Structure 1
Amino acid sequence: MSGVPPPAQPPDPPHHGLVHPLSLWRWRHNPLYRRTDRLQGRIALAMLLLVPILGLGAMFAIGDTAHRHYRAAAEHQRQTLRLTTAVLTHDAPDHPEPGSAEARENRYPATVRYTDPDGRIRTAETDVLPGLSAGSSVDVWVDADGVIAEPPMPAEQIRSRTMGWALVGFLTVTLAGAAAYRGVSVVLRRRNLAQWDAKWAETAPRWTTFP
């Protein structure tokens, strides 16, 4: 027997998802088990159990923090902003479909005149309902400097932003878990391939013949 042993043929690559059900085959009794197979199986099971728990924990923690933040910001706005009446100086643009549900939701920029907290008459631009004529009255929120500002956040907006941050927290933990499992799988596979090549180099000359 002589010659260079043929290249080893490694097993099929494993799935690199977060936790694939086929990863659990490593828990079954098999004489071909390697320590890395058992290790990867344990890691897969740990990810399967821990990622949802940690994700829910992050979701509630981040959601609670975001809710407290936005609720405090809304309270600060209510304490520092002042609601006053302004008058349109020009007609607001008309909506293409007057009276429609979309027209009731849309706002268009228009110039208004109002009195600031110091008693000065000021003009500024704000968003108003379409179709309002010059001289119509609208309510605007102004800050301590007399500048028109966004109204305090309503409860619906606070709830929407809170849910958004909670979802971001859950997805972040899930993606981090997937990335960690994939990284571990790549490292273990490279180690397995190196061991496979070493064993094949020792074994092949004993039973492989060449012409």
Structure 2
Amino acid sequence: MAGTSRARATRVWLWRWRVSPLRRRSDRAEAWIVLGTWLLALLGAVLAGVATADAMERGMAENRARTRAVSAVLTQDATESGTESALGTVRVKVRWTDANGGSHTDRTKADADATAGTMVTVWVNREDELVSKPVAPSEARLQAAAGCVLVALGAGTAVLVAGRLPRAFLERRRLAEWEAEWERVGPGWKKRMLG
């Protein structure tokens, strides 16, 4: 097939920004919409991600500040308390003393083979109610980073999707203009083709 030339489509970068007699006002408007959409998507993603990470880290730090570890004693054998979880723990009754000397009881997780009288560490809030163990600072940073990435991706995607709406409007408008132009020019083409 020597000598056969193949037509190749070339992509012209930034064609909407170039000066051309074929460029329409809608092309310029679409260029500005695309530029604005990408800038807003990047800026919005960064701001939303950073704000999310900061809020998550602050929230987990406040949770750590509101809780404290106390020693508690099991008041029953773990085997008496019920069914074992998949992690090998059971909910068992414990007793602990608060800073004022008051005694409190509640249920917490303990090893399935723990016996009454075993000391365990539990976490309590300022009202001396059992709460779950707070997230460690390193784990908080990891969770905040994951939240940052997810929110940034969501915010950026939302802006990009919203940017498609005015572009779709412009595309419909261009198609309507082409149709109107063809209605005006089409009959002349038909006469030339048939005549």
- Fold-level match, TM-score > 0.5? yes
**Shorter chain as normaliser: what TM range?**
0.7 to 0.9
Q: Would you say 1:44 and 2:34 are equivalent positions?
A: yes
Match of 2:48 among 48, 58, 61: 58
Aligned to 1:108: 89
Bigger relative contact order (CA 8 A; separation at least 6) = 1
Secondary structure of the corresponding residue to residue 59 of structure 1: helix
Aligned to 1:87: 74
- The change in CA–CA distance for 1:22 and 1:129 in structure 2 (over 3 A counts) is farther
Residue-by-residue CA offset, 1:40-67 (whole Å, 9 max, x unaligned) = 1232233334422332233223322332
Aligned to 1:168: 150
Scaled by the length of structure 1, what TM-score is found?
0.68
Counterpart amino acid of residue 113 in structure 1: V
Counterpart amino acid of residue 147 in structure 1: E
Counterpart contact for 1:86–1:140, Cα < 8 Å: no
Aligned to 1:199: 181
Secondary structure of the corresponding residue to residue 151 of structure 1: coil
Aligned to 1:137: 119
Counterpart contact for 1:40–1:185, Cα < 8 Å: yes
Compare 149-158 and 193-202 and name the one that shifted more. Answer: 149-158
Partner Cα separation in structure 1 for residue 41 and residue 128 of structure 2: 50
Partner Cα separation in structure 2 for residue 37 and residue 23 of structure 1: 14
Aligned to 1:148: 130
Match of 2:21 among 20, 31, 51: 31
Partner Cα separation in structure 2 for residue 56 and residue 44 of structure 1: 18
Counterpart contact for 2:78–2:111, Cα < 8 Å: no
Shift of 1:113: 2.9
Counterpart amino acid of residue 91 in structure 1: A
Counterpart contact for 1:116–1:146, Cα < 8 Å: no
Partner Cα separation in structure 2 for residue 181 and residue 54 of structure 1: 13
Aligned to 1:187: 169
Counterpart contact for 1:84–1:142, Cα < 8 Å: no
Identity %: 25
Partner Cα separation in structure 2 for residue 148 and residue 107 of structure 1: 20
Partner Cα separation in structure 2 for residue 116 and residue 171 of structure 1: 47
- The change in CA–CA distance for 1:143 and 1:48 in structure 2 (over 3 A counts) is closer
Give the count of matched residue pairs.
178
Partner Cα separation in structure 2 for residue 135 and residue 74 of structure 1: 28
Counterpart amino acid of residue 119 in structure 1: G
Counterpart contact for 2:96–2:104, Cα < 8 Å: yes
- The change in CA–CA distance for 1:110 and 1:65 in structure 2 (over 3 A counts) is closer
Partner Cα separation in structure 2 for residue 94 and residue 72 of structure 1: 32
